[in-house]
Amino acid sequence: MNPLRLDLRHTVSNAVSNAARIAVRRDLSASITVFLIAVPLSLGIAMATGAPLQAGLVSAAVGGIVAGLLGGAPLQVSGAATSLVVVTAELVQHYGWRTTCAITVLAGLAQLVLGAVRVARAALAVSPAIVHGMLAGIGATIALAQLHVVLGGSPDASALDNLAQLPWQLSHPHAAALLMGAVTIAVLVGWPRLPGRVGRALRAVPAPLAAITLATAIAASMTLPRAVMPSWKTLVLPGLPEGPVLGIIAAVLTVTLVASMESLLSAVAVDKLRAARGDTAERAGLDRELLGQGASNVVCGLLGGLPVAGGAIRGSANVAAGAVSRRATVLHGVWVVLCSGLLAGVLGLIPLATLAALVMAVGVRMVSFAHLKHVQRHREFPVYAATLGTVVLFGVLQGVAVGVAVSVFLQLHRLTRTRITVTEEDGTHRVNVRGQLTFLAVPQLTKAFTQVPYGATAVVELDGSFMDHAAYEALRTWCDGHRARGGWATLSGRTGQPISEPVSAHACRPWTPWHNHHCTRTEVGSGSAGQLVGGLSAFQRNTAHLVRDELARLAAEGQRPTQLFLTCADSRLVTSMITSSGPGDLFTVRNVGNLMPPPGTDASCDSVAAAVEYAVEILQVGSITVCGHSGCGAMQALLGGQGHEPGAQTPLARWLRHGRPSLARLGRIGRLGRGEVALADRPVADDLERLALVNVMQQLDHLMAHPCVARRVAEGALQLQGMYFHVAEAQAYVLNRATGTFAAVRPEVLDAV
């Protein structure tokens, strides 16, 4: 066997092994990061609900291990449900802790039933305005209650009572508790902003852990209420529910609804974060995630833990820390179990005011102004406001009911019969939407999208005047996912013309030329140098953080491109744009005139030949594309006899001589009157365009003259392909070598040439 091929196999084997080791290290590191965030957060949530503090640790451990193993969102991290703090506190106060645990078990069973009947995706039809209004109302209630603890007092069950007593509490604060709360908040806010090299090193420690540690150290010599960790031997297990049957049923429904919605929304959010960093794994399975959450709540309730839900805070931290599989989630649960057994005495030193400040900060973050802008843009602020206000005044279940009622009332003014059909025509799948596209149509819309195969060309035709936030999110998510799987998707309006389609904040946007771009007008330089530095600055500000993880992966694993792309140095050819490629996809060689000198040419051409040899023999690319373009200056010089006259010794003149075979071939075509080269859908414009097309064919012949290329082609391991790009039309053409015809690449039809 070829020694080079053996070396390649050995290299690939080592790369796979290295990738596995890197994945394990990333999961281990991420699990520790999430564990350090989860422990103080779990204790704080337990304290805020009035439950035993170890109940929060039980939830973190069970959520990590059970939901991590069984759930459908591998990178989501579950634990004590932040959105259920108010509900759980009310249940503990009215029914006691044992009955609350029983309600958690029943809610878990209800989630198992919902997951089994596969209603998870239908639950996402609830307007985001209702969900975010509910979360904002819960966050406001949490923050208001925990503010009393930070001030040294005790919160009431009612948000109105807490608001009424706040002036008195502010005028009679407990100095030590207030100091601990202030230190905690200051560290939480300032820790991610620590400057310099030392600050960068310190930021490796999660802010919640740093805040808890610093506040506990300062409070060591103070007399303050502290977290009391009861013995695990006295763990209170669930008992039979005691109380009015209707009240118990309402409590179970509330816990089921809120925990499920938080988990599903968090799963979708974490999935988007995972996709944004370049992962190509399948999207989260929401029905399986609901089953995993149900199993977690059953186990958690039986062990005396708080209700469990997937959390965006822990999940986003997991993704940001570099987790690649559910191994990180499960390991985080294992670390919580070990911590609970080995460090219980240390946890008992934490001041209650510090835990309260931590939970208060979480509550404030639940009131998202970014979501408020989205809601306002989609004309659903009345729904958001009604839900938020009712949750604060009366409770979560009442707030959701009022939000649904207001949303339905608003939709009656907009909603007409929405009809969605899917048809296939000449290989193109058309999804036609007639009527107003609201959250009520999201299940129907997602069902229609399942009829579009992966990799297919799809056109979504919108024949309506309104699209709400839920439909917008569903459409955007599907478009992004379809394109990520190799498909092509676009939107068209009533007249068939393309319309603005939903794109995420991190989607690829059209570029802006330097001379029109404000970011290139910098103070560090002027003219071309200033433009370059300004463009680099814009990249660092807007793009670097989006591609850093992918580039780090490529740096660690090495490049494995599948294509060699030989094209002209012309500044109007942006190879990554016209091929929709990214880092690691193309091995690109550019020169004046996209020339490929044949073997035996002078040594000045070794750089091009060396690049081809490296791509073919070392990188083992599967194809080589030679791409010419319209308006090529090199072809114009060849036609005009400029720069390559006999005796001319400038570098440009010496290089352009390698284009003479193309010029001679064009002459033979003209003398023989043969149509050796043509465009499939229109006549060739002029001799300049004809020479550019002929030059592509000639360079392919020169490539075949290189032994390494000829051998790989003969083995069937390498394909050669010609391409022509018309700059003014932004149109690509691909060569059919059998007929000498360049066929236009159209979105509607993907011809295999």
Active site residues: 568, 570, 572, 629, 632
Sheet strands (E) in 27-131: 77-80
Which DSSP helix (H) or strand (E) runs through 572? Answer: none
Helix axes 3-49, 544-557, angle to 10 degrees: 130
What tokens appear for 585 in the block?
């996809």
Helix (H, G, I), strand (E, B) or coil at 261: helix
Q: How far apart are CA 257 and CA 109, in angstroms?
A: 12
HSE, CB side, 13 Å, CA atoms: give it for residue 440: 16
Question: DSSP letters along 444-505, please?
Answer: HHHHHHTTS-TT-EEEEEEESS-B-HHHHHHHHHHHHHHHHTT-EEEEE-TTS-B------T
Question: Phi, psi at residue 733, to the nearest 5°?
Answer: -125, 140
Distance, CA of 159 to chain centre: 36
Angle, CA 241 vertex, CA 238 and CA 246 arms, to 5°: 145
Question: DSSP letters along 421-452, please?
Answer: EEEEETTEEEEEEES-B-GGGHHHHHHHHTTS
3-state helix, strand and coil shares in percent for the chain, rounded to the nearest 5 = 60, 10, 30
* Ramachandran bin of 732, using left for φ above 0, alpha for ψ from -120 to 50, beta for the remaining angles: beta
- Count CB atoms within 10 A of the CB of residue 505: 8
327 Cβ neighbours under 8 A, 6+ residues apart: 24, 27, 31
What tokens appear for 267 in the block?
């799963």
* Ramachandran bin of 228, using left for φ above 0, alpha for ψ from -120 to 50, beta for the remaining angles: beta
User: What is the identity of the amino acid at 206?
Assistant: P
Sheet strands (E) in 493-585: 563-568
Q: How far apart are CA 31 and CA 64, in angstroms?
A: 10
| Contact criterion met (CB below 8 Å) for 699 and 705 | no
HSE, CB side, 13 Å, CA atoms: give it for residue 617: 14
HSE, CB side, 13 Å, CA atoms: give it for residue 182: 9
- CA 632 to each of CA 568, 578, 635, 703: distance values in angstroms, whole numbers, following the listed order: 8, 17, 5, 21
